[in-house]
Structure 1
Amino acid sequence: MSAELVLKTIKEKQIEWVDFRFADLSGRAHHITLPAKEVDEDTFVNGVAFDGSSIPGFRGIEESDMVMMPDHGSIYVDPFTAHKTLNVFCDIFTPDGERYERDPRSIAVRAEEYLKESGIGTAAFFAPESEFFIFDDVRYESGMNKTYYSVDSEEANWNTGRSEEGGNSGFKIPVKGGYVPVAPMDKQQDIRSEMCRLLEEAGIRVERHHHEVATAGQAEINFRFDTLTKTADNLMIYKYIVHNTAAQYGKTATFMPKPLFGDNGSGMHVHQSIFNGDTPLFYEKGAYANLSEMALHYIGGILYHAPALIAFTNPSTNSFKRLVPGYEAPVNLVYSKGNRSAAVRIPVAAVTPKGCRIEFRTPDSTANPYLAFSAMLMAGLDGIKRKIDPTKEGYGPFDKNIYELSDAEKGEIRSVPGSLDEALNALEADYEFLTEGGVFTKEFIDNFVDLKRAEARSVAIRVHPYEFGLYYDL
């Protein structure tokens, strides 16, 4: 879509405001809104100015002027504003017209360009399965003399005995008992369907939705795969629509990986494949899981670089509350067909040549999608270039439940890092695959590590309520 067509859309849909959006390093969206009458072709040439020093991890106050350059191919009408608003994704540029190296979306664009320049393929396709919780109430506080959090849900197992006005209606979701039950156990059918309707209106093709395994309102909506940057854009829209639809229903949605202790967390399983034009490059009939040698090398790159990769795919302290054995969390750095206990799973049910893909199950939705997808692609491409054979490297295939292996057998399997700090250490030790073709820069990685270490420190130095039970009486 050209700038001219965007302006035509503004006129035809009687748009009053145009909202220009970008993502910061953590993946949070920011926006500046212009009256539609002030948006013209020059806006798409000169961009929209903003203060980069006010965005965490961007620029210092002495060099704060930055420019949002709108991508006219990434527009959708905002379904939540009282005044008709058109949302536009933007790339970040410096005032002298250079792409800003810390702009996550620009990194995704460079990753796609690098794939084409490599001669390996013309497009990488991604499809995330981003899980979330819908709660009725959330409260949290961290102060000098107290710290706590509390969430609640009408579906929650802990509410079987709660007295409610009019009586308790029962039908609560058991712990680990929430996978695809019907109503009245599943009380969130309508809210998920409304989310899907709005996603479709925004141009995102929804494939299905359902209740997920955990109690207290865990959900998943799957949408159609697309190219790397476009899928990252779609995930940003997805999270925006999920959050705001929940708010309209008087509820609250979170993509935190582990908001509940003792039940399954929320992951973001990422399906991915490479095509050359219309030809799928990951398919070879009759091979293991019908995977081509290229696909196996891609898996080899993902698993070899996984400890460093996880700094981008699981970049929160809360991520590592999910990445523990026993909760369907893929902590084992192996690959397998159809096996959900492996970090890399190859779907085998109802798969066509064009649908042949690999699924990296470790990530979660605290990841910035532009950075996470780019890092995964770069790891996979490095595996292809270096012909990393995952079988020879000891990454499988493992076609049995890894959680049921003996301790000795489990000891032979590499695991994910145990904390955010460990993942950041791994990234500092293994980052060169990311800087190929100038996709990531060393300066960006150092800045990202500093930002995330500060988050880890801020959590580590605070008193935890469970420590009172462990140590108060000593």
Structure 2
Amino acid sequence: IMLEVNSPEGFWNAPFEGEYFVGRKRGYHRIYPFDRFMELRNNIVEKLENIGISVKYHHHEVGSTQLEIEVNPTTALRAADGILLVKHVVRNVAEKQGFLVTFMPKPLNDEAGNGMHVHQYLTKNAENIFAGESRGDVSEKCLSYVSGLLYHCPALMAFTNPSTNSYRRLVPGFEAPTHPTFGFADRGAAVRIPGYIKEKKNTRIEFRTIDASCNPYLGIAAMILAGIDGIRHQMEPDKIHGGALPGSLYEAAESLEKDNDFLKEVFPGSLIEYWIKMKKKEHQMVMAIPHPIEYQLYFDV
């Protein structure tokens, strides 16, 4: 299969498009006429609102032809439903306007990858229990929830980052997480506590490793279970000392093999075993195929 990527705003078309192109890694919040996709996003958002998916905003992202549409918070199950509906609507509206859409985590080399950052908080009696007076104006329960995400992150990634392409995105230099860390307003952390939130009722954390290649029902459920495990064991983020995150799908599957008890309250053991088996097989299948760059490096050895 060969695909040629092209776009009227792509930096590779600079000689033909005059000044109206988006420079490499310079697309964040670009406006028309540099941003050629405003009309497309407006049409997508209109369709989403019509089917009951509330949109917070949309804008051009850092990468060439990279776009973001952020939806408003909802319950976990409705969020998982919404992810599939958003992908369906985006693809169909784009196709009608002559565009193809991919949610691949890393479709273009040396460009920012596509994450699917998931903001989350827990409520009890309609109160946000992540709000508090600890570091970053969050509660101790929030910090324990974050700790659970960090502690189980390597295993968690077998569900939240379940494609071989996921790990081409999680590399240094592109605001993508590479270590199980958390930070305030830190776009390179695996878990970020947004620094722009002013009202306690909106306090939340953001899990940033996850991408849209995941099954959202499994990915979201696994995140919640990891966080709740942190609360149950009163974990503290300062005591989570992990190395680098998995660098491949195989490593993530191996991590899940070693650390999966936190999932078993909801995930059947047979599902976990089958998932590990298939993800290792998927990694091995991709690794067995010669890569185009290998021809450049080794063809004439």
TM bracket, shorter-chain basis: over 0.9
For residues 369-448 of structure 1, the aligned pairs below 5 Å read: 369-394=216-241, 414-436=243-265, 439-448=266-275
Aligned mates of 2:175, 2:81 — CA distance in 1: 28
2:287 equivalent to 1:460? yes
* Equivalences, count: 301
One-letter code aligned to 2:57: R
- 2:8 equivalent to 1:154: yes
- Residue 264 of structure 1 corresponds to 112
| Superposed structure 1 runs of 4+ greater than 3 Å apart | none
Aligned match of 2:196: 349
SS in 2 for 1:207: strand
Question: What TM-score does the superposition give when structure 2 sets the normalisation length?
Answer: 0.97
**Match of residue 32 from structure 2:** 183
Please give the alpha-carbon distance, in whole angstroms, between the structure 2 residues aligned to 1:352 and 1:240: 33
CA deviation digits over 1:266-296, x for unaligned, max 9? 10111111001211100113x2111100000
- 2:297 alignment partner in structure 1: 470
* TM superposition shift of 1:318: 0.4
- The letter of the residue matching 1:427 is L
- Larger C-alpha radius of gyration, 1 or 2? 1
Higher strand content, 1 or 2: 1
User: For 2:132, which of 284, 287, 294 is the aligned residue?
Assistant: 284
Superposed CA deviations along residues 163-219 of structure 1, whole A, max 9, x for unmatched, are: xxxxx444111111000011111010010011000000010111100000001x100
> In the TM superposition, what is the alpha-carbon distance from 1:354 to its structure 2 partner?
1.7
- State how far apart, in whole Å, the 1-side matches of 2:43 and 2:269 are: 43
For 1:73-472, list aligned pairs within 5 A: 141=1, 148-162=2-16, 168-215=17-64, 217-285=65-133, 287-394=134-241, 414-436=243-265, 439-472=266-299
The residue identity in structure 2 corresponding to 1:428 is E
Contact 2:197–2:203 (8 Å) recurs in 1: no
Unaligned runs of 5+ in 1: 1-140, 142-147, 163-167, 395-412
Cα distance change of structure 1 residues 458 and 149 upon mapping to structure 2, 3 Å threshold: farther
Aligned partner of residue 160 in structure 1, secondary structure: helix
Unaligned runs of 5+ in 2: none
1:373-430 alpha-carbon deviations (Å, 9 max, x no partner)? 0000000010000111111234xxxxxxxxxxxxxxxxxx622100000000000110
- Once the two structures are superposed, residues 332-370 of structure 1 have per-residue CA deviations (whole angstroms, 9 ceiling, x without a partner) of 211111111111110121332221011111111101110
CA spacing shift, 1:463–1:149, aligned 2, 3 Å: farther
Code of the residue aligned with 2:58 in structure 1: it is H
Give me the whole-angstrom Cα distance separating, in 1, the residues matched to 2:34 and 2:26.
10
User: Which letter does structure 2 place at the counterpart of 1:271?
Assistant: H
Determine if contact 2:250/2:283 at 8 Å carries over to the other structure: yes
Percent identity between matched residues is 42
Letter in 2 for 1:345: R
Q: Distance in 1 between matches of 2:95 and 2:85?
A: 15
More helix by share: 2
> Could you tell me whether the CA contact under 8 Å between 2:179 and 2:243 is conserved in 1?
yes
Q: CA RMSD in A?
A: 1.2
